[in-house]
């Protein structure tokens, strides 16, 4: 069976489930079980560079993802659940089904709860909901901040969260999440794909991360301000092709800082986020990094729901692969202006989106943000215009 | 002039009072409180608050549609139906929460709240809400 046929069948299955919401909840052994799922299919077409390892230059349907979860409340305070997820983005992920999250969640009080297992990582406004296209106006979130190439590396960790919400009387509420655990590795993700292009195929990535997110819902209705800090300590094993396959091991020390503001009111949604990722790589020199990288990203977005069935919006997103280099170089920047129209065909369960991207620059392929030399063997050019059509169902 | 102003104010009060009075908050008899603040009510219906000041665990129950549903969301939750659904979807698909129970009619809400410990919901006609306790919103 052709890959595209398989994905079409999966899509139809998803659509059928979406129009049968009664199946989403049922009783089993005296407990209510909830079953929910989503599926999306996209089409991309670009005028120059191939995008996200897809053959977008000649039109590509290799933009598919879906997931299904099951959960139940074992007691009034304890909930357990798990979600399976699969995607096919160009040459990334290849339709492999993976455990997206699976954990137990015990809530002692409103201001203290604990989750343990494979847990979605809280980073910025939308890291943990980035797959859920139905929650967003956009066919594709700003790639400077939420690169699909690095989705599996950023989306979750194996460990635990402490979380809670603290009302601060007239000052609104504070939501916090403190977490730690093992980093996720993605053998089919953009990080490895880009490094393999550069002659440094990675064979393993390990290590742990610690992070904290604090978001303040201020007394002004709909306004949220927050910040996330993450520290990563780990390593990567690779073989240097230029040195005849010489094995190397690099210790990696990384830090991520993200700051964000979101305002939602009466169909209007405004958001801006700033993110800085700093990484230092050590090869047998514990105190002096052999290499380091400081990449930064920010975006500004605005959308408006004109009608329950129609909303539109635009964003401007910027990514600088290495802050120490010239920000105007095409191989160091990706500036993306996007405009989107979204149509809700059935409540919030089925939508269609059309989105135009006008992209300047292609960044550094090794930073795993959308453009790669392997899928652009003719050479990358500074400008890309991209059309994305995407439809998604959920139940 | 003063008389016209008074008439205008009375008209506004008369027009708006029935709208607000259409929604009554009801709870299972296990819920110890008899009143709840608007802030706490909002947090309960956003899934952020799972227990009340008396220590009782609560579970929100929704109407699926209708004037009372829209009025309740607008008055106490500050979200449209679509925005509330998306809010709960963001919890469900990250594993951080469950989709609340929802029913098509007042009678179904009342029946579920009456038999379910900790359940708290809203109906358009409090007079028909037998077997549940009425919660005042302050």
Mutate to test the interface with A, among B44, B55, B74, B93 (most CBs of A within 10 A): B93
Q: Mind listing the pLDDT tens digit for each residue in A341-368? A: 999 998 889 999 999 999 999 998 788 9
Would B67 be classed as within a structural domain? yes
Cα A192 from chain centroid? 16
Give residue B51's region: left, alpha or beta (phi > 0; psi -120 to 50): beta
Would B4 be classed as within a structural domain? no
Would B8 be classed as within a structural domain? no
Calculate the average pLDDT of chain B.
85
Asked whether the predicted pLDDT for residue B138 surpasses 90, the reply is no
Would B45 be classed as within a structural domain? yes
Q: Which residues pair with B51 in a beta bridge?
A: B57
A135/chain B closest Cα distance in angstroms? 6
- Which chain A residue has its CA at the smallest distance from B84's CA? A348
**Low-confidence winner among A191-205, A371-385, B38-52 (lowest mean pLDDT):** A191-205
Would B105 be classed as within a structural domain? yes
Place A319 in a pLDDT band, splitting at 50, 70 and 90.
Answer: very high
Whole-prediction pTM? 0.88
d(CA A366, CA A150): 12
DSSP β-ladder status, B59-63 and B101-103: parallel
Q: What is the pLDDT of residue A17?
A: 57
Q: Tell me which chain B residues have a C-beta less than 8 angstroms from the C-beta of A124.
A: none
The side-by-side arrangement of strands in the sheet containing B101-103 is B35-36, B133-137, B24-27, B119-123, B59-63, B101-103
CA trace torsion B69, B75, B80, B81 (10° rounding):
-20
B79/chain A closest Cα distance in angstroms? 8
Place A387 in a pLDDT band, splitting at 50, 70 and 90.
Answer: very high
Option in B59, B82, B98 nearest A308 (CB): B82
Asked whether the predicted pLDDT for residue A187 surpasses 60, the reply is yes
Q: What is the pLDDT of residue A208?
A: 94
Q: What is the pLDDT of residue A245?
A: 76
Would B55 be classed as within a structural domain? yes
Option in B59, B78, B95 nearest A103 (CB): B95
Contact A135 B90 (CB under 8 A): yes
Here the CATH number for the domain that contains residue B99 is 3.40.190.10
Place A11 in a pLDDT band, splitting at 50, 70 and 90.
Answer: low
Q: Mind listing the pLDDT tens digit for each residue in A15-57? A: 555 555 545 788 888 888 999 999 999 999 999 999 999 999 9
Q: Mind listing the pLDDT tens digit for each residue in B66-82? A: 999 999 999 999 888 98
Which residues lie below 8 Å from residue A328, measured CB to CB, with a gap of 6+? none
Would B24 be classed as within a structural domain? yes
The ipTM assigned to this model is 0.89
d(CA A389, CA A29): 43
Mutate to test the interface with A, among B79, B83, B95 (most CBs of A within 10 A): B95
Asked whether the predicted pLDDT for residue A3 surpasses 90, the reply is no
Asked whether the predicted pLDDT for residue B29 surpasses 90, the reply is yes
Q: Does A215 touch chain B (CB under 8 A)?
A: no
Size of interface A-B (CB pairs under 8 A): 86
> B39 lies in which domain range?
20-137
Q: How many domains does chain B have?
A: 1
Q: What is the pLDDT of residue A4?
A: 52
Q: What is the pLDDT of residue A186?
A: 85
Q: What is the pLDDT of residue A219?
A: 93
Would B12 be classed as within a structural domain? no
Asked whether the predicted pLDDT for residue A239 surpasses 70, the reply is yes
CB contact at 8 A, B120 and B20: no
Contact A110 B50 (CB under 8 A): yes
Contact B95 A83 (CB under 8 A): yes
Residues 53-112 of A with CB under 8 A from B: 67, 69, 71, 73, 76-77, 79, 81-83, 101-103, 105, 107, 109-110
**Average pLDDT value for residue range B37-56:** 91
Asked whether the predicted pLDDT for residue A288 surpasses 90, the reply is no
Asked whether the predicted pLDDT for residue A104 surpasses 60, the reply is yes
**Low-confidence winner among A156-170, A179-193, B118-132 (lowest mean pLDDT):** B118-132
């Amino acid at each position: 069976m052709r890959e595209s046929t398989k994905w079409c069948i999966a899509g139809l299955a998803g659509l059928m489930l979406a129009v049968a919401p009664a199946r989403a909840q049922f009783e089993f052994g005296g407990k209510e079980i909830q079953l929910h799922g989503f599926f999306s299919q996209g089409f991309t077409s670009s005028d120059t560079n191939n995008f996200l390892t897809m053959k977008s230059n000649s039109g590509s349907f290799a933009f598919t993802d879906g997931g299904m979860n099951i959960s139940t409340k074992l007691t009034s305070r304890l909930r357990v659940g798990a979600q399976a997820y699969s995607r096919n983005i160009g040459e990334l992920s290849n339709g492999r089904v993976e455990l997206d999250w699976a954990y137990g969640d015990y809530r002692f009080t409103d201001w203290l709860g604990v989750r343990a297992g494979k847990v979605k990582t809280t980073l910025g406004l939308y890291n943990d909901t980035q797959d859920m296209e139905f929650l967003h106006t956009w066919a594709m979130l700003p790639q400077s901040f939420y690169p699909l190439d690095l989705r599996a590396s950023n989306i979750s960790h194996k460990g635990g969260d402490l979380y809670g919400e603290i009302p601060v009387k007239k000052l609104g509420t504070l939501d916090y999440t403190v977490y730690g655990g093992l980093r996720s590795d993605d053998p089919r993700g953009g990080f490895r794909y880009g490094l393999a292009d550069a002659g440094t195929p990675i064979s393993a990535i390990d290590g742990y991360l610690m992070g904290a997110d604090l978001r303040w819902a201020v007394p002004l209705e709909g306004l949220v301000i927050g910040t996330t800090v993450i520290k990563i300590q780990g390593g990567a094993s690779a073989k240097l092709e230029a040195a005849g396959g010489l094995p190397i091991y690099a210790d990696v020390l990384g830090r991520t800082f993200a700051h964000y503001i979101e305002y939602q009111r009466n169909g209007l949604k405004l958001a801006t986020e700033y993110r800085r990722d700093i990484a230092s790589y050590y090869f047998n020199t514990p105190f002096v990094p052999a290499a380091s990288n400081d990449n930064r990203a920010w975006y500004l977005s605005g959308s408006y729901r004109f009608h329950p069935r129609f909303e539109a919006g635009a964003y401007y997103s910027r990514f600088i692969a290495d802050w120490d280099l010239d920000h105007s170089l095409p191989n160091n920047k990706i500036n993306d202006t996007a405009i989107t129209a979204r149509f809700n065909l059935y409540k919030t369960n089925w939508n269609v989106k059309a989105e135009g991207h006008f992209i300047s620059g292609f960044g550094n392929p090794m930073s795993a943000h959308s453009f790669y030399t392997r899928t652009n063997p003719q050479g990358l050019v500074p400008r890309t215009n991209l059309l994305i059509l995407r439809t998604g169902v959920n139940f | 002039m003063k008389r016209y102003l008074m008439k205008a104010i009375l008209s506004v009060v008369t027009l708006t009072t029935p709208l607000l009075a259409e929604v009554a908050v009801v709870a299972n008899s296990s819920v110890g409180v008899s009143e709840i603040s608007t802030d706490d009510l909002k947090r309960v219906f956003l899934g952020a608050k799972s227990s009340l000041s008396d220590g009782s665990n609560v579970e929100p129950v929704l109407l699926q549609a209708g004037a009372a549903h829209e009025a309740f969301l607008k008055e106490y939750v500050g979200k449209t139906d679509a925005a509330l659904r998306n809010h709960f979807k963001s919890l469900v698909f990250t594993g951080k929460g469950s989709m609340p129970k929802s029913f098509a009619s007042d009678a179904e809400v009342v029946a579920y709240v009456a038999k379910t410990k900790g359940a708290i919901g809203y109906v358009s006609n409090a007079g028909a809400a037998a077997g549940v306790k009425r919660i005042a919103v302050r």
